[in-house]
A = this chain, B = another copy of it.
């Protein structure tokens, strides 16, 4: 394969493990407000899934004395592709090693990003098989949609904080074969934010600068809904249920996603979003670079980014 060819070794963002120090309330939030379904439990963890996630789970919610993210998982496009990635990551020197997998998937190779977030990649997965009572009316859908709460459709993307986003921009494409779709470059040429994708979604992971200088922190995880109107309904549901809305609904200038941010009970930031029909189909997409000046205009329709968006991450830093 020539060096100039795009890499398709990694298929998609697969799951996130979130830590909560309020496990009962967090679980209630994800099940009854976000509308996820529990697909399993093991140890301190509950496995959760949206109604059109095809795998066993996309969220592993783990009781802890901490908050934030314990690990993020990606699924490779084949066993051979997985092996190519592992070889590449080992050459980058940040590999941790193989584990035996989890309730939701087979053996996974773990590694660290340069900001000390734990990643894993695997190929063998445990596809969700809907039990009686969860079978959908249409057979091309993973699970019945109970229309409970926000009733999000599927995992969409993840946002992590990093002390040095420039180093991340170099690392992620090498580790995952990702493309950089958009980025924000400050006046001193450092990166304020960077958006990556391994597939046709316009991003599956984004990194933004951690102004506290703390590494390994989590910014938010996002579930997709089908329509912008569903994001508005989500806002109504969060309001009615006393969930703290940080900002939105509004439209990002970067990536044009229609968004809404809330905090789940333990303080982890959760996003509900809709990207419309936007896809990155171009195999030779050129990174869109936003300047600090351009970002000062605020979000697409003028809303200034709320201050806590730049400061709040989990675990929280004093």
Contacts and interface: CB of A to CB of B under 8 A. Distances in A.
Interface of A: 1-2, 4-6, 8, 11-12, 52, 54-55, 75-81, 125, 127, 136-141, 144-147, 149, 153-154, 156, 182, 199-201, 224-230, 232-233, 235-240, 242, 245-251, 253-256, 258, 274-279, 281-285, 288, 290, 294, 300-303
Contact of A281 (B199, B237, B239): B199
A274 B228 CA distance: 12
Contacts of A300: 138, 235-236, 239
A81 B284 CA distance: 13
Given A5-B78, A137-B240, A201-B200, A227 B276 contact: yes
A247 B276 CA distance: 22
Nearest to A6: B77
Contacts of A136: 240
Contacts of A255: 140
Nearest to A232: B228
Contact of A254 (B79, B140, B278): B140
A11 B228 contact: no
A281 to B, nearest CB: 4
7 contacts: A6-B8, A54-B282, A76-B283, A138-B253, A200-B200, A232-B258, A247-B302
A4 B79 CA distance: 9
Nearest to A248: B301
B11 A282 contact: yes
